[in-house]
Amino acid sequence: MLKILHNPRCGKSRQTLKIINESGNEVEIIEYLKDTPSESELTSVLLKLNVSPLEIIRKGEPIFKENYRGKSFSDEEWIKVLVKNPILIERPIVVKGDQAILGRPPENVRKLL
């Protein structure tokens, strides 16, 4: 089963979910702004993506520009920032077993189908 860290207000996230639904795969939808992943869950997702926390931060968000731009933190500190401010997590992220992809562009999800 697939899991998607989803924001229904995001076009890319909706497009990625549509591709999954059309494929016939079962998917668990996690609206991460309401049901924020824990630090350990986010760490697990980052390992599956094979990226650092900084690589999934939405740097265009006002909260990033106002509070975090130009600052240097450890990976663990960035994970705390992301859990505290889930709007900063790039979306969508799709997880299947021990693999994950960022759905930008949405067609990336086909690698997991």
Q: Name the active-site residue from 1, 4, 8, 10.
A: 10
What are the start-end ranges of the H helices in the chain? 11-23, 39-49, 62-67, 75-84
Element (H, E) at 102: strand 99-102
Question: Phi and psi (nearest 5°) for 2?
Answer: -90, 155
Beta bridge partners of 3: 28, 95
CB of 91 within 8 A of CB of 13?
A: yes
96 is catalytic: no
Catalytic machinery residues? 10
